[in-house]
Structure 1
Amino acid sequence: MAAQRAESVLSKRLRRADLTAVADVRATLRERLRRRAWGERELADIAELLTSELVTNALVHTGRDAEVTATLERSGPSRLRVEVRDYVEHRPVQRTADGEATGGRGLMLVQSLADAWGVRAVGAGKIVWFELGGGPA
């Protein structure tokens, strides 16, 4: 079995309630994916959107710090994996938002647009993650 070659694209700790960090995370991810020529533009846009949804959820719904990590795996077709860790054990709940609601669509977007996603418990908290394929390495 071939070993996977992975490179860190982004690793950042976010302070609780610092919603300005969401835009910074998006911009940093965009710039680093562009520099590594990963995926098509549309796929990078989806990565930004889903990352901002998970980061926003972690900061808004936990009231605590969070950590975001993005990693490119480049053995075979390249894949981007983004993980957002928070320090609250309760699992996220997918809601159904009505047409006028300004929230409640984040996990629906992740489920609809990611190639894979999930939640796993870690110590005192959890990691919500998603993966997107970027085509040949």
Structure 2
Amino acid sequence: MKDQGYVALAGNNLTMPAIALTPSGQGAIAFSVLGEDHFPSAGYVRITEDGSVGPIHIAAAGLGPHDGFTAYKAFVGDPPRTRWGDYGATVTDGANIWLASEYIGQTCTLAQYFPSPTLAGFGSCGGTRTSLGNWYTRLTKLSQ
């Protein structure tokens, strides 16, 4: 992969990468993983001093589909062009690399989303999400 400049996972997309390198040349690429066998998940690869990348790691596995308002045609156009994963970042403090990637940390049923006819607790799925978005940001510390 080093010579081609690609990191890939068959049947999935690795979106919105963010890269950081320590002063010694070691680093990581953070991204969101989503596709045929992954609900939106937080992932990363390590970069060695010679520029090689290691295997893909899942820092936080997605638990369900993305169902925020930015995924619906009425809000983003037709065909939908969502902004999934655009809140990722990486930074180094010299010895460690900190990663931030989006993932889906919960899922709920329609009955949990609409718990009562009076709208008490509407859209929070028991306090695990906001009513208009169910994504989280995963922070991961990689020690060198």
- Structure with the greater relative contact order (CA < 8 A, sep ≥ 6): 1 or 2? 1
TM-score range, shorter chain: 0.3 to 0.5
**TM score, norm. by length of structure 1:** 0.35
**More helix by proportion, 1 or 2?**
1
**TM score, norm. by length of structure 2:** 0.34
Structure index of larger Rg: 2
